[in-house]
Amino acid sequence: MLTDAQIEETMARVRKLELKARRLVRESFAGEYLSSFRGQGLDFDDFREYQHGDETRFIDWNVTARLNTPFVRKFREERELSAVLAVDVSGSADYGSVHFSKREVAAEAAAVLGFSALNNGDKVGLLLFAAEPVLFVPPEKGSRHLLRMIREILVAAPEQPGTSLAAACDFLVRAPLRKSLVFLISDFHSDPLDKPLDKPLGKLARKHETVALRVSDPLESQLPKAGKVVMIDPETGFETRVNTGNTNLRMAYQKLMARQHEGAARIFRKHGIDFADLATHGDTLAELHRLLKRRSRRRIR
C-alpha cells in the first residue's frame, strides 16, 4: 500500500500527466480514440434526395409524397460512449521492482484514457476490484470526477487483497449499464481457486466492448540470479525460500510465466478482445498510442 508521501508524489504526477494528456489528446489521442471506438447506434440527422444505390428502407414516404420526389433519411453515428475503467487493486498491484508499481502504471493509463474519453464527450466510470468488487463509480463527465477516480485507484486498500477477475467480469455483466467500453487493467494473475477466466471474459466481451491492458513487472517474467531469497506472496502472505542461483529453477519459472502470459493472450484473441502490455519499466503512453493506432487502422480497412 502506498504511503501518504507516495500518494502525494503520485498525485503530483497525475496533475502533470493531466497537462501532458490534454496535449496528447489535442495532438493525436483524440482523433485516434474517436476513430478506435464506435458510438452506440445511429441518430437521425437530416433528409436528402434519393440517389441511385441508396437503401430503399431509408426512404421517408411522407416527405417523398409531399415533395413528389424520393427523399431518404440521413443518420449520424451516436458518438457518446460510457467508458468504464476496471482496475485491479489487489495485493500484487503494489509490486514494482523498478521505479513505479503496477498500481501507479494502472493509474497513469486510466488518466490518459479518461482524458481522451472526456475530450470526446464520453462519460467515464470506475470499478476497483481485488478478491471481490471494491468500489463502483457510475460513468459521469468532468475532469474533477476523473481525478477523484484516479485518486481512488491510488489509495484503495481492499480488505481481501486476493484477485478475482471472474468476480469483476460478473459484476460488469450484471451492472445496470448500457453497452459500454470497458478497459480491464490488471496483471491477470488470478487466485488459483478463482474461476477459469475464459467464460467470464467471454460474457463480458459479449455485453461490452472490452479492451485488456495487462500490467507487468520484469521480475515477474524472469527471476534474477540473486542466490537464496525469501519470496512473499502479497495476496496470501505465504513465504517460501527460493534458490535463484539454480539455473533449472529459473528456466522452469520463466517457462511457467510465459505459458501463463500466452494463455491469457489466447483467451483475449478468442473473444475478440484487443489488448496491450504495459510494464513498470516501459512507456505507458507509447503502448496506448500503438493500441489506438492498431484499432484505427483496422476500422479504416
Report the alpha-carbon distance of residue 57 to residue 70 in Å, rounded: 12
Least confident window among 11-15, 155-159, 222-226: 11-15
> Quick one: 50 exposed, middle or buried, by C-beta within 10 A (0-12, 13-18, 19+)?
middle
Under DSSP, is residue 277 helix (H, G, I), strand (E, B) or coil? strand
pLDDT score at 60: 81
Report the alpha-carbon distance of residue 118 to residue 110 in Å, rounded: 12
On whether the CB atoms of residues 244 and 250 are closer than 8 A, the answer is yes
Whole-prediction pTM value?
A: 0.81
- pLDDT (tens digit per residue) in 46-82: 677 877 667 677 788 887 888 888 888 765 555 568 9
- pLDDT (tens digit per residue) in 181-199: 999 999 998 877 778 899 9
What are the cell numbers at 295? Answer: 484499432
Domain 4-37+80-300 class in CATH: alpha beta
Q: Where exactly are the structural domains of the chain?
A: 4-37+80-300, 42-77
Q: Tell me the average pLDDT across 28-33.
A: 62
- pLDDT (tens digit per residue) in 198-243: 999 999 999 999 999 999 999 988 888 888 888 888 887 788 898 9
pLDDT score at 35: 61
On whether the CB atoms of residues 104 and 154 are closer than 8 A, the answer is yes
* The pLDDT of residue 8 is above 80: no
Q: Tell me the average pLDDT across 269-277.
A: 95
